[in-house]
Amino acid sequence: MPQAKPKPRAARTPLAKSPTGIQGLDELTGGGLPKGRVSLVCGKAGSGKSLLAMEFLVHGALRYGEPGVCMNFEETEEKLTANVASLGFDLRDLTKRKKLLIDYVLIERSQITEAGEYNLDGLFVRLAHAVKTIKAKRVVLDSVQALFAGVGDSAILRSELQRLFRWLDDNNLTAIVTGEAGIDTLTRHGLEEYIADCVIALDHRVTEQISTRRLRIVKYRGTSHGTDEYPFLIDEDGISVVPITSLALTHKALTSRISTGVPALDDSMEGKGFFRGSSVLVTGTAGTGKSSLAANFARSACARGELCLYFTFEESPSQILRNMRSVGLNLEPWVRKGLLQFSAMRPTSTGLEGHLAVIHRLITQVRPSVVVIDPITNLISASGSYDVKSMLVRLVDFLKVQHITSMFTNLTFAGDPQERTAAAVSSLMDTWIVLRDSKPNGRPRRELYVLKSRGMAHSREVRELIVSKRGLDLGAVLSDHTVATHVAGK
């Protein structure tokens, strides 16, 4: 069964939080946005500000019983409704059920002449009326920027905005104000100066033709928060942020064991196999049986009634099923039972961070006890290799905290010292299994040895890996090919 999620530490701070319902963001902020306060979400056009704000309202209405008002200065109710319909948000229904109220504020500068003193009481009246109508607890102002274009007197506007934010605070409304990024400032009109409690910046960068979205918590009064940039993803389920789940190496190491899927391999690891919650790296040149090993590992998990999530970056699920049948492995029953779930992605379909975000989200949704990533080589190709390590650190940490046992396969190339490609990765891994081809006396054979496996006595002998219709097995110890000579030969 999937492992239970470790309980979050009890909040030490009395600061009340209002959950956004956005995966990852609530973890990052220790529970959500400051309750009854105004938060600023800023970023360039298209960085996801409006979506974040809208999700905050929709989740608030659906999950947390907090109706919300969206004062939108940019898009009409119809457009907004259509925009988020693809995410499965039915704003019309929410509006009908009085859980959401959208007020589109149109400012047509060309229509307006200024003749004397004024204030923005009209806006206050509208907002107060909307809040009262549905007893709202959440408010979104998206984006007040438009007011600067519409109201000529920016001195009035600034003091009125301050009054507005104070009004929101006084009425105990949890609010998101969005603001367009300036050139050297967080927002074009310095809105951040008025927001004391929480500022979140969104960014959207393109590196080597691959775009990555990032989120940074610029400030959050009264809460310790990471100041790093966290990758986030916008897809058919909305926003999900990939947090660093463990800022310190504090995860508990489990002592229970889990089969490798190959009995003979279990035997060489104290007869018990991997530690549960550990990470396993399988490296090898093409055709040495990496995927077969991974599939055996997956099957043994399913056979125990555990859930396995299998990420594939090379082959389609049906291709894997077909190929595995040829080595005596019928995975289909487990797929039908829902114990084996595949996720196939092209490595170049998104950036590394995007993949990480997808992996995180799926793992959080499916809650598997075993994860296979086959192969990580392709992920490395999707990015400059310097990112890879930090990404894998995050992923491995995440898996360990959840007590998920993971197997990563990595393709090495003939003649290429595998230590180089695996260098970034291997130090993170608890167990490293090396597969290779060899042709003693002209007869090709596959070989396997366990290069390392932390915390256990394991055989380091090179064994023949026998791949047949009856499945995987290990042959006799190959005394003429010891690890020592192999390492020395490099």
Partner 1 sequence: MKKTTARKRPAKTSQSDFFILRLYIAGQTPNSMTAIANLKKICEDKLQGKYRIEVVDLLVKPQLAKGDQIIAIPTLVRRLPPPVKKIIGNLSKTESVIVGLDLQPALK
Binding site for partner 1 (CB under 8 A): 103, 105-108, 111-126, 128-129, 147, 150-151
Q: Kindly tell me which of 123 and 356 has the beta carbon lying closer to partner 1.
A: 123
Q: Kindly tell me which of 156 and 210 has the beta carbon lying closer to partner 1.
A: 156
Q: Kindly tell me which of 54 and 131 has the beta carbon lying closer to partner 1.
A: 131
Report d(CA 349, CA 53) in Å as an integer: 27
Q: How far is the CB of 176 from partner 1 (least distance, A)?
A: 20
The answer to whether the beta carbons of residues 408 and 263 sit under 8 Å apart is: no
Q: How far is the CB of 72 from partner 1 (least distance, A)?
A: 12
Q: Kindly tell me which of 76 and 365 has the beta carbon lying closer to partner 1.
A: 76
Q: Kindly tell me which of 119 and 385 has the beta carbon lying closer to partner 1.
A: 119
Q: How far is the CB of 128 from partner 1 (least distance, A)?
A: 7
First and final C-alpha spacing in the chain: 43
Name residues whose C-beta falls within 8 Å of residue 187's C-beta, 6 or more positions apart in sequence: 40, 42, 145, 179, 180, 181
Report d(CA 464, CA 478) in Å as an integer: 7
Name residues whose C-beta falls within 8 Å of residue 65's C-beta, 6 or more positions apart in sequence: none
Tokens found for residue 242 = 């990939």
Q: How far is the CB of 196 from partner 1 (least distance, A)?
A: 25
The answer to whether the beta carbons of residues 274 and 432 sit under 8 Å apart is: no
Q: How far is the CB of 171 from partner 1 (least distance, A)?
A: 15
Q: How far is the CB of 65 from partner 1 (least distance, A)?
A: 25
- Burial (CB < 10 A; 0-12, 13-18, 19+), residue 232, is buried
Q: How far is the CB of 392 from partner 1 (least distance, A)?
A: 51
Report d(CA 212, CA 205) in Å as an integer: 5
The answer to whether the beta carbons of residues 297 and 369 sit under 8 Å apart is: no
Alpha helices in 214-312, H assignment, sequence order: 263-268, 290-303
The answer to whether the beta carbons of residues 86 and 79 sit under 8 Å apart is: no
How long a stretch of residues is the chain?
490
The answer to whether the beta carbons of residues 81 and 92 sit under 8 Å apart is: yes
Helical packing angle, 385-401 and 418-426, nearest 10°: 50
Residue bearing tokens 């979140």? 200
Q: Kindly tell me which of 128 and 327 has the beta carbon lying closer to partner 1.
A: 128
Q: How far is the CB of 130 from partner 1 (least distance, A)?
A: 9
Q: Kindly tell me which of 152 and 384 has the beta carbon lying closer to partner 1.
A: 152
Q: Kindly tell me which of 133 and 348 has the beta carbon lying closer to partner 1.
A: 133
Q: Kindly tell me which of 73 and 232 has the beta carbon lying closer to partner 1.
A: 73
The answer to whether the beta carbons of residues 55 and 239 sit under 8 Å apart is: yes
Q: How far is the CB of 100 from partner 1 (least distance, A)?
A: 16
